[in-house]
Amino acid sequence: MIVTPTAIADVLVIEPNVFGDDRGFFFESFNHAKFEAAIGKPVKFVQDNHSKSAENVLRGLHYQTQQPQGKLVRVVQGVVFDVAVDMRKSSPTFGLWIGEILSADNKKQLWIPEGFAHGFVVLSKTAEFLYKTTDYYAPEFERCIAWNDPDIDIKWPINGAALLSAKDRLGKPFAEAECF
């Protein structure tokens, strides 16, 4: 696998070695030992999630103030623009974001460690999104930052209006967000 740091060094793009021919392809989507070696620390995933969304559905920006979740995310059908926002006050990249195109075709994964808000928008007709988390979902600790917050100024490559859940429409400004 190829591991590439992003502009926020703790967030990594992971590209698997894909073996393909006219019959199809094979790749190792997760190997615990290789993953820990790549990120340089032990990690324990406790939950796998799978979502399907339509074009222009924007989910996020979510994080948990307690039981923070590291996430290893990938797309198995379609295309998304995936975003991580650094919520760690002590970090030199606090308040900055990175975005990456993840698709079934490019097979890229994004490692988003604890201390980040996360969101994505679907760029294809539909997309199926898989992710592993390092802690369990705890709705009482979940927080949401407004996807279009001007202080963060994410450049979402969306064509049309973002389709948001009721919860995501209530996202708070970054300036009011609880941070790590």
Of the listed 50, 63, 118, 131, which one is catalytic? 131
Query: Does residue 62 have an active-site annotation?
Result: yes
Using an 8 Å Cβ cutoff, are 125 and 148 in contact?
no
The CA–CA distances, whole Å, from 63 to 90, 138, 154 equal: 17, 10, 16
Of the listed 50, 62, 118, 136, which one is catalytic? 62
Q: Could you give the CA distance from residue 86 to residue 152 in angstroms, rounded to a whole number? A: 10
Query: Does residue 118 have an active-site annotation?
Result: no
- Closest C-alpha among 105, 128, 114, 112 to residue 69: 114
**Would you name the residues annotated as active-site residues?**
62, 131
